[in-house]
Amino acid sequence: LVGAIGFADKINFAKTSLLGVVPQDGFLISGSIRENLCLGASREYTDNELREVLGRVKLEDLLLSQGLNLDSE
């Protein structure tokens, strides 16, 4: 249910590929930072695109201060 409305009644299933789920408890898979950022991606991303994402979520400075990079595990 979404509110009091049945989800299946209101969503066109052809558009469900546009939906995603963001869990409340974050987690990382084993592997590099790059692999975690690209999990489930339909294309490859450049280093600059990944750094931009990290900057937007305020993690780029933290990674740099710890001496980590996109290929760090």
Q: How far is CA 69 from CA 5, 35, 41, in A?
A: 45, 12, 19
- Condensed to tens digits (0 to 9), the pLDDT of residues 25-63 reads 777 678 899 998 998 888 999 999 999 999 999 999 999
pTM greater than 0.75 (yes/no): no
Measured between alpha carbons, how far is 4 from 53 in angstroms, rounded to an integer?
35
CA 15/CA 62 separation, integer angstroms = 37
Contact present, 34 and 40 (Cβ < 8 Å): no
Q: How far apart are CA 9 and CA 19, in angstroms?
A: 16
pLDDT at position 21, please? 72
**pLDDT tens string 5-19:** 566 666 665 566 666
